[in-house]
Chains A and B, each alone.
Chain A
Amino acid sequence: MANMSLEKIKMPEQAPDVRNKNFEEVALGYTAEMAVEEAQRCLSCKHKPCVSGCPVNVRIPEFIAEVAKGDFMAAYKVITSTNALPAVCGRVCPQESQCESKCVRGIKGEAVAIGRLERFVADWYMKNCDEMPEKPASNGKKVAVIGSGPSSLACAGDLAKQGYEVTMFEAFHKAGGVLVYGIPEFRLPKGIVQKEIDKLSALGVNIMTNMVIGKVLSIDEIIEDMGFDAVFVGTGAGLPSFMGIPGEALVGVYSANEYLTRINLMKAYLSEYDTPIRNSKAVAVVGGGNVAMDAARCAKRMGAEHVYIVYRRSEKEMPARLEEIHHAKEEGIEFHLLRNPVKILDNGNGQVCGIECLKMELGEPDASGRRSPVPVEGSNYVIDVDTVVMSIGTSPNPLIRSTTKGLETNRKGCLVVNEETNQTTREGVYAGGDAVTGAATVILAMGAGKKAATAIDEYLKQK
Chain B
Amino acid sequence: MFRIVNKRELNSMVTLLEIEAPFVAKKAQAGQFIIFRVDEFSERVPLTIADYDREKGTVTIIFQKVGLSTKLLAAKEIGDSIQDFVGPLGVATEYDGMKKVAVVGGGVGCAIAYPQAKALHELGVEVDVIAGFRNKDIVILEDEMRAVATNYYLMTDDGTQGEKGFVTDKLKSLIEAGNNYDAVIAIGPIPMMKFVSLTTKPFGIKTIVSLNPIMIDGTGMCGGCRVTVGGKIKFACVDGPDFDGHEVDFDELMNRNSIYKAREAELTETHICRMDKLANELIK
A residues with a Cβ closer than 8 A to B are: 171-173, 209-212, 215-217, 238-240, 242, 244, 248-252, 254-255, 257-258, 261-262, 266, 272-276, 278, 350, 397-399
Contacts and interface: CB of A to CB of B under 8 A. Distances in A.
Nearest to B253: A249
Contacts of A216: 23-24, 26-27, 86-88
B84 A261 contact: no
Given A209-B84, A258-B216, A262-B216, A217 B259 contact: no
B192 interface: no
A173 B255 contact: no
A397 B220 contact: yes
B87 A215 contact: yes
The 3 residue pairs across chains A and B that have the minimum distance between CB atoms: A350-B255, A258-B222, A255-B223
A172 B217 contact: yes
A266 B216 contact: yes
A238 B220 CA distance: 8
Nearest to A208: B23
Contacts of B223: 240, 242, 254-255, 257-258
Nearest to A244: B233
Contacts of A240: 221-223
B95 to A, nearest CB: 20
6 contacts: A210-B85, A211-B86, A216-B26, A251-B258, A261-B216, A397-B221
A110 to B, nearest CB: 38
Contacts of B255: 249-251, 350
B43 A215 contact: no
B86 A212 contact: yes
Contacts of B219: 171, 212, 215, 238, 397, 399
Contacts of A211: 23, 86
A250 B86 CA distance: 28
A242 B224 CA distance: 11
Contacts, number: 105
Given A272-B41, A397-B219, A173 B24 contact: no
B122 to A, nearest CB: 22
A75 B95 CA distance: 63
A11 to B, nearest CB: 33
Given A258-B224, A274-B41, A171 B217 contact: yes
Interface of B: 23-24, 26-27, 37, 41-44, 68-69, 83-89, 216-224, 226, 228, 233, 238, 249, 252, 255-256, 258-260, 263
A239 B220 contact: yes
Given A211-B23, A212-B89, A249 B228 contact: yes
A215 B89 contact: yes
A103 B165 CA distance: 78
Nearest to B218: A212
B221 A239 contact: yes
B224 A255 contact: yes
Given A276-B263, A398-B220, 15 more contacts: A173-B86, A215-B89, A215-B219, A216-B26, A239-B220, A240-B221, A242-B223, A254-B223, A255-B222, A272-B41, A274-B41, A350-B258, A397-B220, A398-B238, A399-B220
Nearest to B84: A173
Contacts of B226: 242, 249
A215 B42 contact: no
A273 B44 contact: no
A173 B84 CA distance: 7
A274 B228 contact: no
B94 to A, nearest CB: 16
Contact of A249 (B69, B85, B252): B252
B249 to A, nearest CB: 8
B84 to A, nearest CB: 4
A261 B222 contact: yes
Contact of B43 (A209, A217, A244, A274): A274
B256 A249 contact: yes
Nearest to A277: B260
Contacts of A248: 233
Contacts of B86: 171, 173, 210-212, 216
A10 B220 CA distance: 41
B260 A242 contact: no
A251 B220 contact: no
A211 B44 CA distance: 15
Nearest to B37: A173
A251 to B, nearest CB: 5
Nearest to A272: B41
A148 to B, nearest CB: 13
A251 B213 CA distance: 12
B222 A257 contact: yes
A238 to B, nearest CB: 4
Contacts of B37: 173
Nearest to A268: B43
Nearest to B260: A276
Nearest to B216: A261
A257 B24 contact: no
Contacts of B224: 254-255, 258
A266 B84 CA distance: 13
A221 to B, nearest CB: 9
Contacts of A172: 217
Contacts of B256: 249, 251, 350
B83 A173 contact: yes
B39 to A, nearest CB: 9
A215 B228 CA distance: 24
A257 B221 contact: yes
A261 B87 CA distance: 19
A242 B228 CA distance: 13
Contacts of A209: 84
Contacts of B221: 238-240, 257, 261, 397
Contacts of B68: 274
A397 B235 CA distance: 12
Given A262-B216, A274-B68, A215 B88 contact: yes
A173 B44 contact: yes
Contacts of B260: 276
B259 A278 contact: yes
Instruction: Give the one of B219, B220, B223, B259 with max A CB within 10 A.
Output: B223
A401 to B, nearest CB: 12
Nearest to B43: A274
B221 to A, nearest CB: 4
Contacts of A251: 255-256, 258-259
Contacts of A274: 41-43, 68-69
A242 B233 contact: yes
